[in-house]
Structures are given as C-alpha cells and as structure tokens.
A and B are shown apart, each in its own frame.
Chain A
C-alpha cells in the first residue's frame, strides 16, 4: 500500500534562513506528487506539484521541490523564509483511483 511520511512534525527556523521540509513516499508505480500549504484557520492551497518532466519543480512564494525517484522523496525547500511562511505544509501522493494519500503535515515555525 502507498504511504507518505513527513519526517518532521515541526521545523523551527530563523527568519531569512533556508528551510527544507522532508517528504518520503512508498510506491512501486509512477506517481504524482504535491505540496499544499495551510495558513492558520484557512483551507489548503496548492503550493506545487510534480506530474512529469523536470524533477525540480518551482511553486508559489519562492518554494521549490525536487523529485528523487531513487530515494522516493519529494523534499520542499526555500532559500530564505519569511514570517509570512508560518503555516502547516502537507505532502501528498496520488493513488490510481483519483485519491490522494496525505502525509501528517509539518508545521513551519519562523523565529524572528
């Protein structure tokens, strides 16, 4: 069965520092991969997605992610975070029956 693991439940980082949020998945077949962001008391917003092609995917708000098939990872990165990036970030993997499998989420905490 497919699964998604977000390795850190919380990631504290200083403002203007780089950040990496880790996501690993298990799947024996080709997948689509997604990162969503949820700001406090809001719905989920698509940050970026990998469907095919270049393994480096750029998203909104300066985020990017790299698909690594051999390591079955899709880590999210940003070179310099801002206080407005405080949110919870969810990694998701598609299933063959039009559903997504979700990670448990990583809370990004920006320290001033």
Chain B
C-alpha cells in the first residue's frame, strides 16, 4: 500500500468551528487530492495540489481551503463547519497525475 496516512480518522465537531484534516505521504508524490464521499454522490473532488504551494479548486470547493507547504503534507480546512460537510474525506496521491492511491479516510460529523 502507498504510504498515506490521514489524521484524525474520526472527528466530531460543532457547527461554526474550524476543522483541519491532515494528509501525510511518504512516497514523495507530486500530486495530492482531497475528496469527499457521500451516499448517492460517489466521490467528489474538493481541491488538489500539483506541487508545493500549487493548489487548485475541484468541483465542491466552497467552504474549504487547502495548504501544502511541503511535499508530504496536504491540509484541508473547513473554515466554519456546517452540517452539510458531514462526510467521509479521502486523501489521494499520484506520482504523475495518472494513477491515484488513496488514504484510509476521515469520518467527520458536524453537529
């Protein structure tokens, strides 16, 4: 398995609070992605990164921001969590932007 970890693995938070999810890789891959997975919607891309400090929006980026200050870490921040952001969040990495490898996921519950 690709060396990808996500933290925390589970989180419960309250509406209006900021939340940061971390994705850490040991593969030195250039590309990193954040997805959310919801029943009936499949996987939806939130943001992705194509290098250190190089990021771009995906299809569901509203309410989320990201940062990548070093190759191995990609942070996803929910600036003010809402109940609609309750979801399972997956990080993925890719060496060449072609095949993606996924982390174990973070379950987020916003009350």
Contact = CB atoms under 8 A, between A and B. Distances in A.
Interface of A: 32, 34, 36, 42-46, 49, 51, 90, 94, 98-100, 102-105
Contacts of B99: 32, 34, 46, 49
Contacts, number: 43
A66 B76 CA distance: 36
Interface residues of B, number: 23
Instruction: Tell me if B's interface is mostly helix, strand, loop or mixed.
Output: strand
B98 A44 contact: no
A104 B42 contact: yes
A99 B45 contact: yes
A98 B42 contact: no
Contacts of A104: 40-42
Contacts of A42: 104-105
Nearest to A96: B97
A32 B103 contact: no
Interface of B: 31, 33, 40-45, 48, 50, 58, 90, 92, 94, 97-105
A103 B41 CA distance: 9
Contact of B104 (A43, A46, A94): A43
A32 B97 CA distance: 11
A45 B100 CA distance: 9
A99 B58 contact: yes
Contacts of B103: 43
A98 B104 CA distance: 21
Given A34-B99, A103-B42, A98 B105 contact: no
